[in-house]
Structure 1
Amino acid sequence: MLEEQKSYYEARATEYDEWWERRGRYDLGAEGNALWREEIQKVEAVFDMAPLRGHVLEPAAGTGNWTLYLTRRAEKVTVLDNSRSMIEKNRRRIQEAGLQGRVDYEETDLFCWHPRARYDAIFLGFWISHLPSAVLDPFLLLMASALKPGGCLAILEGQRNGRLRSATQGTSRLNDEIELRTLNDGRTFRIVKRYDDPEDLAKRLERAGLDAQVGASGEQFLYALAFSPS
């Protein structure tokens, strides 16, 4: 299943931004798209207040929408991703912004990765929902161990319900953890896709030894800021 998920994101790299930018089959109409952008701005306002500075780690960075955000604030960003095509798109985005000297890239299997340094902050955008529930707690412990004292772990995910839940088209639920995704060319892939409740996510972060604050932007996004002990 996890190998199929890796193949899915490698294949989806060329069309991923259609989802984020509400284009093509992801277009929600004028009102829906405006709500989507409004909630993104609310999330950005939260992260603007967080200490996402110094050396920031971004696992599963994808095409770089949040890499660009982080690079404009941090001294250095280290990007990790399993997909070579995602990394290539990410690199082009950063180069076009003239910020390439501040980002390092590592193509790696995130299910086998272990930190070689400690970071001022870690950003996880739409990643932990693709981890099987049995893997999530160990992964959060790993992230906590990679933070410097007082470091910040920032998390962004989609919410389980809400009017904009249809924002991901071409999906069908197979069970609580598995979703069938269809690409523009009709190919289908099974991937892990879970939805964490705010209370459950806060408890998981606290079990990892982090002081957590979890909130929602409205109907679409769930976010968390969690801090390691100073």
Structure 2
Amino acid sequence: MSDLADYYRDRATEYDAVYDKPERQEDLARLRALLPPLVAGRSVLEIAAGTGYWTTALSASAQSVLATDVNDETLAVARTRSYGPGEVRFHVADAYDLGAVPGRFDAIFAGFFWSHVPRADVRRFARALIDRVEPGGVVIFADNRYVEGSNHPITRTMPDGDTYQTRRLSDGRTFEVLKNFPSAEQFAADVAPGEVSWAELIYFWLATIS
């Protein structure tokens, strides 16, 4: 995952351009409306918070949000945003090492990170999040669906099902980035025996595990 971390670190100042795509605006508004009721009054641990785009939606109703990311460069952008009324704190942390994150949480949100987890690791990753949330809590995922013409083309597919895209930064450098697009059935199998609620939009999906 080090190459992925390098890519998002170097993309920090231009990352939010992905939210400007005209065709995705209605779906983005729907996602931002769906999230606050799920975390209302809860203490939220946000995984791979990046530049804080989704942290703003979480903080609208959560009691508190601890926004974590492996890159302080992206969190530096996140710190410039306005949040609230929920308390928002930031912490550099590896999504694969949640035991090192302080605090107790009754909601965990991982936005647009599931697609970057290798197929061989998804069950272990999901279990780590489910084990970290307090009893009666909820684990929430949101991510992309593959839509031809809106997503970067898939440039490589591995025998285990992992798919990759080639991404280009504004300075011309290119990165090969793992980006998987699970179906509802595949996701449910990966997180079993957790009880899954799945909402499918045109460009995105939202799932909760309880």
State which drifts further: 43-52 or 60-69. Answer: 43-52
**RMSD, aligned α-carbons:** 2.0
- What aligned pairs does 1:57-206 form with structure 2 within 5 A after superposition? 57-93=45-81, 97=82, 99=84, 102-114=87-99, 115-160=101-146, 162=147, 165-169=148-152, 172-175=154-157, 176-206=162-192
Q: Partners in 1 of 2:74 and 2:169 — Cα distance? A: 15
Secondary structure, aligned partner of 1:85: helix
Q: What amino acid maps onto 2:205 in structure 1?
A: L
Kindly report structure 1 stretches of 4+ aligned residues shifted beyond 3 Å: 98-101, 115-118
- TM-score, normalization by structure 1: 0.81
**Aligned AA (1:4):** D
3-state SS, counterpart of residue 192 of structure 2:
helix
Aligned to 2:35: 47
Residue of structure 1 equivalent to 2:207? 224
**Count of aligned residue pairs for this structure pair:** 205
Tell me how far apart the structure 2 counterparts of residues 177 and 57 of structure 1 sit (CA, whole Å): 28
Structure 1 unaligned runs (5+)?
A: 23-32
CA distance in 1 between counterparts of 2:51 and 2:39 reads 23
Equivalent position amino acid for 1:3 in 2: S
Number of the residue aligned with 1:27: none
Q: Give the whole-Å Cα distance in 2 for the aligned partners of 1:78 and 1:18.
A: 24
Contact in 2 for aligned 1:55/1:76 (Cα 8 Å): yes
Q: Identical aligned pairs, as a percentage?
A: 28
Which whole-Å CA distance do the structure 2 matches of 1:53 and 1:5 have between them?
33
- Aligned amino acid, residue 54 of structure 2: W
CA contact under 8 A between 2:43 and 2:105: conserved in structure 1?
Answer: yes
Shift of residue 84, structure 1, vs aligned partner: 1.3
TM-score by length of 2: 0.89
Contact 2:45 2:105 in 1 (8 A): yes
